[in-house]
Structure 1
């Protein structure tokens, strides 16, 4: 609740597995505007949070202890001001959120699909983290 007794706008980041992109988006929006937004992430087919997701967030000094992969089904009836899909598959298969005010699509490549050595895969995770952070900051500037 805010000082005026009004609820913060709720933001749901949605991707397929809730293992990388949506988790990063959640943490980054919480970091930049957690006092202004209630932020949740979920997946169509939730898996385990990718260890490389945790690693690149922690490298950036961001908290990860609260991260947990969650499914979207229990959230469908809840009100969200923004439902933001962060992968094309989630956008194509996103369930209807009857109580969502806005639905946005921010497509990012899947870092979990990266091939190569651990360092090569980390490079992709870092790139996606930085792209998501830039998108979050641009979105917040638009909303200021």
Structure 2
């Protein structure tokens, strides 16, 4: 694992997660544990409305957590109820967390390669609808990271389970003096919670 990412991840304090929040996260951990016990692939798709912020953070940090705790056959994805673009502020906060990121296209919906470990393929990040390739269309868990997607997408075809794990949208601080701090706080929250999920298996 890239040393900057490893240092960031090791410093996350899962003991600070409240019992109330643990109760929200526990069903996802239980789902992953059952899949592992059955020796089945673990496919996790993180979903928010635009697939621009929270869902990408969930995808990235769940994949990092699986690698950190050496949990095999975990495949993390992200999608939206509509496609827009991966917000550059999301990319910036991941860079601050130690990720190595390269932009591979300059389209309106650019494609990024996010690398946390030189020994594994990078995460390919771009905005897409939750059932768009390369995302799975069956045998996956849908993790709903925003209340809008949860309310407006009551049925996710192909999902084995659905887990509402909501995060406040860091978009609320866009173009304000609090922007960077807000994104970094949300990034750290998602990372810490994904660490808790995988260390509790």
Q: Smaller-chain TM-score range? A: 0.7 to 0.9
Q: 1:1-144 alignment to 2 at 5 Å? A: 8-34=41-67, 35-64=72-101, 65=113, 66-74=124-132, 78-117=137-176, 119-142=177-200, 144=201
* TM-score (normalizing by structure 2): 0.61
- What CA deviation, in whole Å up to 9, does each residue of 1:30-57 have, x standing for no partner? 1121544111100112211111100110
Q: Greater CA deviation, 39-48 or 63-72? A: 63-72
Measured in 2, the distance between the counterparts of 1:97 and 1:133 equals 25
Measured in 2, the distance between the counterparts of 1:9 and 1:15 equals 20
Q: Which residue number in structure 1 is paired with residue 119 of structure 2?
A: none
Aligned length: 137
> What CA RMSD, in Å, does the superposition of the two structures yield over aligned residues?
2.2
> 1:27 touches 1:63 (CA, 8 Å); kept in 2?
no
* TM-score (normalizing by structure 1): 0.83
Greater strand content: 2
User: Rg bigger for which structure?
Assistant: 2
> 2:45 touches 2:79 (CA, 8 Å); kept in 1?
yes
Structure 1 segments unaligned to the other structure (5+ residues): 1-5
